[in-house]
Amino acid sequence: MMLRTLFFLVFSLVVLPGCSSQVVTGPLPEPGTDTVHYEPPEVDEWKLSNNLTVLYLRDDELPLVSGTLYLPGGSLYEEAGGKIQLAAMGSQLRLGGTEKMSPEQLDLELQKLAASVSSSFGSEYGTVSFQCLESDFERVFEIFHDVLLTPRFDEKRLDVWKSASLDGIKRRKDDSGTIASLSLTQSVYGGSRYGYVSTTEDVQAVAPTSLFEKHREYVHPDGAYLVVTGSVEKEVVEELVQKYFSQWQNTSEERAELPAFEAEYTPEILFVEMASAKQSSIYIGQPGVKRHTADRYAITAFNEVFGSGGFDSRLMRRVRTELGLAYSVYGAIIPGREVGENIIAMQTKSESTPVALAESLDQLRQLQSDKVEKKELQTVKTAAQNAFVFRYDTPGKLLQRKALLRILDYPDDYDEDYLENLNDVSREDILTVAQSRWDLEKLVIVVVGDKNAYTLLENYLSSASGILSNYKLTKRTFDETLQ
């Protein structure tokens, strides 16, 4: 589901020593000491009359200029086939050529300039980006403008995209993890826009006319952010932005608000047989929380303790390291704009399917029963501080982060206060998250495996007396989607 992707966007930003902007002062703290002090660099910001916001930060490390335009709105605002049309539009902005240049001419021109332009649309926003040598900035910026505002949506290029998309849909049933993930999405979010899974018919219905419609609807300056960084003067950026984007007009239509999600799903265990599966893929989930809840920092700490903190997480320590039941296992609460996702995912040997499933849920049950150890929580906090310091290491990433926080409606001081707020999370807070944000009686569990895995799971459930005793085991099939 698209919500999983959003989880990986969040929660750390900094520029390393040696770059043009230093934003962290002092050495990393030892466990139990104060947090790192974060000082964001000064960013130049201005807004055009059409409500396009520009963020600029100079970076002289290399003679390059790069930029990204963030456009609010994405596939979450679309129903059924409209989602795939928007994804196609995002891809074909760049790949389909412009009014001035065919796709082949555009490819050749960028190749000659050793430059790049790319485009895409996701669940909540779209991006169009460029990178070039400082000496070619104006020419590439002009191409960037043409790609964004005067796309061609070449039918042959669209056919290539459709062919690749159809092939991807056809190959879904060859991968147990893909089957489990998509089946979980369908089962938890049903026929709502949050549970959409594309089909052959959706892809076949995409046409240039539908891409132009989505372009008119989604590509406008109101609420958009253009970030530019590199070895170029601010005055040059201001001049080119004014030249190419000051006449960019807004559409008159306002995008409708996202509907609230009403959970209508059946807690159960769904088994999809895959004869060729060498391992069982297990995906466990239920609807999650909105993004900006009061306990968001406690949720972050819980995730690290439970299943997103690598080898330090409980799932990895117990299921992988101690019991050897899985090479990798992951679990987290992933907040979303209107509804989030609680998920546990792993692959295990066919013969260990029921044990791995039960053990992963037992780790969650333990977090609902007892407070984490002080040392365990401090390890999580220290790891989060280290990640904060080292993850975002260039001015370009810093500006992109700033734009993304605004697009996703985070408060302006989120990064400045993040480490302090995370450091304030207590053991009691994590216990409260585990108890209030997970319901062990309302899970959808999808298992994709061979006949042996099914028999073992069926036998286990027939005598189970714990967490899984009230769950019904149902066999389902999967083609392009869960049947």
- How many beta carbons lie within 10 A of that of residue 351, not counting itself? 11
Cα distance between residue 423 and residue 297, in whole Å: 9
> Where exactly are the structural domains of the chain?
44-245, 268-476
Cα distance between residue 73 and residue 275, in whole Å: 41
Cα distance between residue 205 and residue 464, in whole Å: 47
215 φ, ψ (degrees, to nearest 5): -65, -45
Tokens of 312: 């330090």
Residue 415: per-residue pLDDT:
85
Residue 143: per-residue pLDDT:
98
Cα distance between residue 453 and residue 255, in whole Å: 47
Cα distance between residue 429 and residue 299, in whole Å: 9
The helix/strand/coil state of 34 is coil
The structure tokens 């989880």 sit at 7
Query: E strands within 17-82?
Result: 24-25, 37-38, 44-47, 53-58, 64-72
Q: Are 211 and 158 in contact (CB under 8 A)?
A: yes
40 φ, ψ (degrees, to nearest 5): -65, 145
The amino acid occupying position 339 is V
Tokens of 245: 């984007």
Find the Cα–Cα–Cα–Cα dihedral 330, 180, 173, 457, rounded to 10°. Answer: 110
Judge whether 44-245 and 268-476 match in fold.
yes
Residue 35: per-residue pLDDT:
53
Residue 8: per-residue pLDDT:
34
Q: Would you give per-residue pLDDT tens digits along the chain (483 residues)?
A: 443 433 333 333 322 222 333 333 333 344 444 555 556 678 999 999 999 999 999 999 999 999 999 999 999 999 888 899 999 999 999 999 999 999 999 999 999 999 999 999 999 999 999 999 999 999 999 999 999 999 999 999 999 999 999 999 999 999 999 999 999 999 999 878 899 999 999 999 999 999 999 999 999 999 999 999 999 999 999 999 999 999 999 876 677 788 888 888 999 999 999 998 889 999 999 999 999 999 999 999 999 999 998 888 999 999 999 999 998 899 999 999 999 999 999 999 999 999 999 999 999 999 999 999 999 999 888 888 877 766 667 888 889 989 999 999 998 888 888 889 999 999 999 999 999 999 999 999 999 999 999 999 999 998 877 788 889 999 999 999 999
Sheet-wide strand order for 329-334: 329-334, 340-349, 279-288, 444-449, 268-273, 473-476
Per cent of the chain over pLDDT 70 is 90
The topology (CATH level 3) of 268-476 is Cytochrome Bc1 Complex; Chain A, domain 1 (3.30.830)
User: Residue 373: which region, alpha, beta or left (left: phi > 0; alpha: psi -120 to 50)?
Assistant: beta
Burial of 349 (0-12, 13-18, 19+ CB in 10 A): middle
Cα distance between residue 132 and residue 69, in whole Å: 15
Q: Are 445 and 284 in contact (CB under 8 A)?
A: yes
Q: Are 41 and 401 in contact (CB under 8 A)?
A: no
The amino acid occupying position 395 is P
The topology (CATH level 3) of 44-245 is Cytochrome Bc1 Complex; Chain A, domain 1 (3.30.830)
Q: Are 229 and 68 in contact (CB under 8 A)?
A: no
Cα distance between residue 182 and residue 298, in whole Å: 28
